[in-house]
């Protein structure tokens, strides 16, 4: 067999929505600042130890804009404002905000590592709702609030940076009883780290260790800007907005602005682009290629749909069509050409979702073994092959111990020590391996289920598109009228028009539409909805017009069907023993996001939870649930309860009661005609050990094949409900019939 190495290209996608409210000028959420100190700097800096591990970082221009704003001291967010306030001068409203928001960190990996931080969380009793926060205000002292101000910000600094920096290391070791002076110095350190991010990327780029690619400026879904009807290629049945949005000129402007800002920051033209959410179509090829971009990337399912075939995987996720997936292609439209690579979804998702629960060394070994398996399957063509891994480069790491440093160091060390694996940038690979095969077509879809369902089709999404279309039409009409009356625009008029178009482009960003509809929910839904409508309101104000009244009405509704992170794909029959008996027993189950937010890449998971994850599934006879606890934060003396609330077609509660983490009981309650709850069954198959596992027979619930089940899950202690999944609305499933697996079968 050849001794040539297998080439692998990592693409780390760095993105946050534009959090700056266009009317107030303030940032409504702090995630650019906090991810800047926890992820953006160290994800690049770690490669200084591994100069042979070449990687690609895709940095969205609107994120760069915000990093620059924070580093210059020009950005202010409410969390920073509440941090800088002297603890002795906090008002009751300030204190409520801090107790509600300053535990927005992964409880297991970011709070538990600071005993004092954990102590302050337990003092709050893990309750997340404002009405419960009010009850505990009186128990917190001035020093408690000062320590919380410090620890929240300290926890969002990468552990490697905390270890290297003398002042930060002392803060960690001190652990409690911080001073106002130390708090101010901490925020100065935070800004210092933010100021080092862009220079570090420039340095590594100049050394040839990394490539920096870009995205359209405000992270819009390009195919939908070009034509909202493109959604029907993957979803012929989808209901679309009342008025078609088809403005490829906006797509061109978003791409052009992204490239221009990238050149301004990094001093050179980017070769590559990650189209927002991996969203592509035939129409975007000339849009992107026409601006000088040479390569793009997206998901393997787009490749399969473009070729009219399935990219087959075995039961372990190993590709059975390696010669199809692991190479670049050409796409050509209207005489414009791009190279395109397709990510291996399993490899990407292993890092994004699975390895965070593994021992770091074992996870790195598994990844290496998979790469070596791919190398072996490619045979003599290995030298001309490329494995592409694309994933979120920021939100994933809070789910790992030590912010992912242990895993990344283990993986990079093993890769550096192997002559059989070579990590390259995409441009580096393409320089010696131009794609030969041209795709017959480029399917219109994204990296999530090869469609645009998240961003269009639901009545909330469509309402947002209609607001956007209305505002854009008014702006175009306004501009045409001005230009008809004035051969040359005044400086003031030109500036006003530019600012108004800026608001349109910002409102075209994908993030607002991400939170509309049934797919995702977060505790910041209200803020995202408000931001979208604020951009459109600002446009009308710039034109000296009264914003339409409908922009004062929230688009997001409270009760609706929510799409879980994953739905059951096959029957499961787990052993109810409280243990993860093997990796595969829950592999085909559904997954419910337990933190606020959620996405293919853990988007916006900033809240804490006593539960790490919730799985559910079924076979023909039973419904199964699994809850993975974060054991270290459970107090043995507290009685916990989890309630699976079923309210259609009948009202039932499946109540799981736990004493600490040592014992469990479960029962089914049925709602009677008088509204009271009566015990229907109290003998159920339940076990608690490493996890909580529960089996409920459909017969006990009176459900039969084909019945729709609507449910949500709540968690509480001492009579209080402290968490709900999904945050709003409910999940809907159908009781399966014998053909369920046939309907869901995929090669």
| Residue listed under structure tokens 């023993």 | 577
Whether residue 635 is predicted with pLDDT greater than 90 in this model: the reply is: no
Whether residue 743 is predicted with pLDDT greater than 80 in this model: the reply is: no
Instruction: Encode 195-263 in three state secondary structure.
Output: HHHHHHHHHHHHCCCEEEEECCCCCECHHHHHCHHHHHHCCCCCCCCCCCCCCHHHHHHHHHHHHHHHH
96-132 residue pLDDT tens: 999 999 999 999 999 999 999 999 998 887 655 566 6
Burial of 195 (0-12, 13-18, 19+ CB in 10 A): middle
Neighbours of 381 (CB within 10 A): 14
203-215 residue pLDDT tens: 999 999 999 999 9
Report the percent of the chain where pLDDT is more than 90: 72
- Tell me what the mean pLDDT of segment 68-91 comes to: 97
Whether residue 87 is predicted with pLDDT greater than 90 in this model: the reply is: yes
- Tell me what the mean pLDDT of segment 599-614 comes to: 55
Query: Please, where in the chain does CATH 1.20.1430 lie?
Result: 459-552
Whether residue 718 is predicted with pLDDT greater than 60 in this model: the reply is: no
Q: Domain 590-743: give its CATH code.
A: 2.60.40
At residue 59, what are phi and psi to the nearest 5 degrees?
-115, 120
Contact 613, 566 (CB under 8 A): no
CA 67 to CA 261: how far, in whole Å? 13
Q: What is the pLDDT of residue 665?
A: 80
Among the listed ranges 23-32, 510-519, 716-725, which one has the minimum average pLDDT value? Answer: 716-725
CATH classification of 459-552 is 1.20.1430, yes or no? yes
Question: What's the token pair of residue 663?
Answer: 């014992």
Whether residue 700 is predicted with pLDDT greater than 50 in this model: the reply is: yes
17-52 residue pLDDT tens: 999 999 999 999 999 999 999 999 999 999 999 999
- Choose among 3, 7, 56: nearest CA to 385: 7
341-359 residue pLDDT tens: 999 999 999 999 999 999 9
Contact 112, 118 (CB under 8 A): yes
CA distances from 592 to 32, 58, 589, 614, 717 (A): 26, 29, 10, 5, 21
Report the percent of the chain where pLDDT is more than 70: 93
- Choose among 351, 383, 352: nearest CA to 370: 351
CA 503 to CA 513: how far, in whole Å? 16
CA 229 to CA 224: how far, in whole Å? 7
Which residues are within 8 A (CB) of 268 and not within 5 positions of it... i.e. 6 or more apart?
A: none
**pLDDT grade for 740, boundaries at 50, 70 and 90:** confident
Q: What is the pLDDT of residue 747?
A: 33
Query: Please, where in the chain does CATH 3.20.110.10 lie?
Result: 6-17+208-235+245-432
Question: What's the token pair of residue 244?
Answer: 């078609």
Whether residue 450 is predicted with pLDDT greater than 70 in this model: the reply is: yes
337: enclosing H helix or E strand: strand 336-343
Whether residue 744 is predicted with pLDDT greater than 70 in this model: the reply is: no
| Reported CATH class of domain 6-17+208-235+245-432 | alpha beta
CA 562 to CA 259: how far, in whole Å? 36
Q: What is the pLDDT of residue 594?
A: 72
- Tell me what the mean pLDDT of segment 242-247 comes to: 98
Query: Please, where in the chain does CATH 2.60.40 lie?
Result: 590-743
- Tell me what the mean pLDDT of segment 261-289 comes to: 99
124-182 residue pLDDT tens: 876 555 666 777 888 999 999 999 999 999 999 999 999 999 999 999 999 999 999 99
Residue that wins the pLDDT comparison between 607 and 103 = 103
Among the listed ranges 23-27, 230-234, 268-272, which one has the minimum average pLDDT value? Answer: 23-27
CA 8 to CA 687: how far, in whole Å? 43
Q: What is the pLDDT of residue 521?
A: 72
Q: What is the pLDDT of residue 564?
A: 85
Q: What is the pLDDT of residue 582?
A: 76
- Tell me what the mean pLDDT of segment 320-347 comes to: 98
- What does pLDDT average to over the chain? 91
Q: What is the pLDDT of residue 537?
A: 97
């Amino acid at each position: 067999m050849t001794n040539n190495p297998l080439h692998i290209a990592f693409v780390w996608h760095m993105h946050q929505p534009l959090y700056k409210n266009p009317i107030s000028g303030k940032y409504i959420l702090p995630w650019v600042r906090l991810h800047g100190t926890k992820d953006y700097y160290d994800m690049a800096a770690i490669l200084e130890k591994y100069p042979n591990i070449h990687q690609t970082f895709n940095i969205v221009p609107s994120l760069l804009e915000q990093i620059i704003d924070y580093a210059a001291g020009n950005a202010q967010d409410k969390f920073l404002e509440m941090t800088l306030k002297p603890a002795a001068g906090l008002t009751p409203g300030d204190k409520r905000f801090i107790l509600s928001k300053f535990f927005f960190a992964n409880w297991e990996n970011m709070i538990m590592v600071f005993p004092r931080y954990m102590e302050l969380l337990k003092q709050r009793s893990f309750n997340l709702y404002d009405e419960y926060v009010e009850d505990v205000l009186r128990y917190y002292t001035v020093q408690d609030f000062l320590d919380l101000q410090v620890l929240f910000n300290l926890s969002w600094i990468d552990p490697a940076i905390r270890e290297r920096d003398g002042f930060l290391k002392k803060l960690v070791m001190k652990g409690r009883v911080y001073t106002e002076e130390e708090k101010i110095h901490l925020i100065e350190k935070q800004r210092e780290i933010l100021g080092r991010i862009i220079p570090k990327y420039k340095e590594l780029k100049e050394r040839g260790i990394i490539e920096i690619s870009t995205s359209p400026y405000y992270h819009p879904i390009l195919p939908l800007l070009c034509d909202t009807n493109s959604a029907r290629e993957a979803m012929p049945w989808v209901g679309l907005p009342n008025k078609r949005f088809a403005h490829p000129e906006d797509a061109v402007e978003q791409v052009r602005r992204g490239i221009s800002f990238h050149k301004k920051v990094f001093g050179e033209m980017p070769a590559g682009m990650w189209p927002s959410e991996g969203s592509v179509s035939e129409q975007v090829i000339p849009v992107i290629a026409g601006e000088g971009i040479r390569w793009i990337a997206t998901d393997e399912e787009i490749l399969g749909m473009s070729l009219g075939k399935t990219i087959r995987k075995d039961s372990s996720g190993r590709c059975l069509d390696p010669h199809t997936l692991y190479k670049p292609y050409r796409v050509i439209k209207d005489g414009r050409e791009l190279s395109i690579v397709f990510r291996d979804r399993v490899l990407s998702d292993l890092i994004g979702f699975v390895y965070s629960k593994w021992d770091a060394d074992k996870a790195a070994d598994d990844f290496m073994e998979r790469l070596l398996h791919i190398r072996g399957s490619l045979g003599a063509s290995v030298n001309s092959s490329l494995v592409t891994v694309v994933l979120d480069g920021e939100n994933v790491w809070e789910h790992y111990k030590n912010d992912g440093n242990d895993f990344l160091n283990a993986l990079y060390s093993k890769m550096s020590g192997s002559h059989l694996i070579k990590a390259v940038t995409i441009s580096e690979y393409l320089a010696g391996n131009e794609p030969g095969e041209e795709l017959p077509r480029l399917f219109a879809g994204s990296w999530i289920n090869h469609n645009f369902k998240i961003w269009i089709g639901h009545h909330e999404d469509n309402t947002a598109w209609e607001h956007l279309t209305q505002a854009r039409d008014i702006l175009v009409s306004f501009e045409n009228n001005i230009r008809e009356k004035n051969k040359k625009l005044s400086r003031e008029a030109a500036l006003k028009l530019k600012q108004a178009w800026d608001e349109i482009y910002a409102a075209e960003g994908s993030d607002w539409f991400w939170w509309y509809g049934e797919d995702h929910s977060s505790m910041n839904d209200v803020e995202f909805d408000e931001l979208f409508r604020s951009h459109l309101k600002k446009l009308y104000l710039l034109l000296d017009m009264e914003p339409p009244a409908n922009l004062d009405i929230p688009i997001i509704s409270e009760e609706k069907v929510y799409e879980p992170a994953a739905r059951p794909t096959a029957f499961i029959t787990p052993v109810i023993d409280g243990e993860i008996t093997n990796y595969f027993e829950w592999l085909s189950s559904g997954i419910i996001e337990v933190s606020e937010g959620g996405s293919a890449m853990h988007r916006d998971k900033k809240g804490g939870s006593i539960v790490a994850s919730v799985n559910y599934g079924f076979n023909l006879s039973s419904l199964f649930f699994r809850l993975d606890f974060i054991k270290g934060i459970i107090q043995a003396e507290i009685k916990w309860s989890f309630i699976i609330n079923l309210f259609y077609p009948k009202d039932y509660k499946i109540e799981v009661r736990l004493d600490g983490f040592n014992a469990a009981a479960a029962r089914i309650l049925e709602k009677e005609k008088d509204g009271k709850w009566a015990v229907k069954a109290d003998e159920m198959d339940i076990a608690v050990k490493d996890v909580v596992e529960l089996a409920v027979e459909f017969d006990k619930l009176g459900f039969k094949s084909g019945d729709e089940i609507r449910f949500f899950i709540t968690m509480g202690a001492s009579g209080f409900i402290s968490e709900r999944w999904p945050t709003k609305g409910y999940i809907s499933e159908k009781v399966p019939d014998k053909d369920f697996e046939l309907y869901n079968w995929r090669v």
